[in-house]
Homo-oligomer: A and B are copies of this chain.
């Protein structure tokens, strides 16, 4: 199994009528501010409020009946957790999810509400990999990786496929595409789709400043592992090194990486509330933040970006709006 435009198209066929075909939005305000023609792929409007359902469903479809009966295990701070839980529910597979006890409440509750068993662990004190492996061994359940897996990457790649189809309908071929980047699964899938469709679109990954493992890896020319003890609002992007498979793809296809500060993320969340009428979580807002802060020369360009998730606790949301009342 590999990651190519045809394998992404196969994933799209599997997700047809199952995943939400999220809209590609435009905003006169955003165009006026940036001088660009902006296209926003709103994956916060996906099932479970994030793109993660796509990869999880595509992955779970591969399991045979015997494996399905034993269930699945995953570890995640929340969006992959909910993605796996929702996909498992649809396919009638029991799901065990290992989550950090500091995960956003909306993600913890969301995962439980979807019928998954949640095992909490203490971040920096316990190994989620070990807990998940033990759970898998005990129950015979299959581990569902968060990003470093071809089926997961192909599923996430369908975001890029749709984005290109939708931008073609608008007769606007993106010059630039900005993609939030944690482990690099969404980025790798989307970059593969875009590369297969239109090599003139330059793809950029966007990271929080404190979790810039891709930015550092790009400069080092190899996978770099960062410390990963610095806190960030972007709980969805707290991977400390690029995945092996994702990096082998992103190393080839991604032009460069951009970094945004915590306050730039808060500002983007407040902007989205005020002008886009969208609820965006911190990790889902990094590409929008990079655009709003002019991290590249966007003016005159057709600039597309992915809003990758919207699962944010009300208290954090309110804090962002208070901090940037007039963005």
Contacts and interface: CB of A to CB of B under 8 A. Distances in A.
A75 B106 CA distance: 41
Contact of A274 (B20, B106, B278): B106
Given A314-B318, A321-B314, A321-B317, A277 B45 contact: yes
A106 B106 CA distance: 27
A23 interface: yes
A44 interface: yes
A6 interface: no
Contacts of A45: 25, 276-277
Copies of this chain, how many?
2
A287 to B, nearest CB: 16
Contacts of A314: 273, 318, 321-322, 325
A49 B44 CA distance: 18
B25 A47 contact: no
Contact of A277 (B275, B310, B318, B322): B310
Contacts of A49: 275, 277
Contacts of A42: 277
A44 B277 contact: yes
Interface residues on A, range: 20 to 34
A279 interface: yes
Contacts of A126: none
A106 B273 CA distance: 11
Q: Which among A20, A277, A318 has the highest number of chain B CB atoms within 10 Å? A: A277
Contacts of A229: none
Contacts of A279: 273, 277-279
Interface string A295-327: 000000000000000100010011001100110
A109 B325 contact: no
A255 interface: no
Interface of A: 20, 23, 25-26, 28, 42, 44-45, 47, 49, 86, 106, 109, 273-280, 310, 314, 317-318, 321-322, 325-326
21 contacts: A20-B25, A23-B25, A44-B277, A45-B276, A45-B277, A49-B275, A49-B277, A106-B274, A109-B326, A277-B278, A277-B279, A277-B310, A278-B278, A278-B279, A279-B279, A314-B318, A314-B321, A314-B325, A317-B318, A318-B318, A318-B321
Given A109-B326, A318-B318, A318-B321, 16 more contacts: A20-B25, A25-B45, A28-B86, A44-B277, A45-B277, A49-B275, A273-B279, A273-B314, A273-B317, A277-B279, A277-B280, A277-B310, A278-B278, A278-B279, A314-B318, A317-B318
8 closest cross-chain pairs (CB), A and B = A277-B310, A23-B23, A314-B321, A277-B279, A44-B277, A318-B318, A49-B277, A273-B279
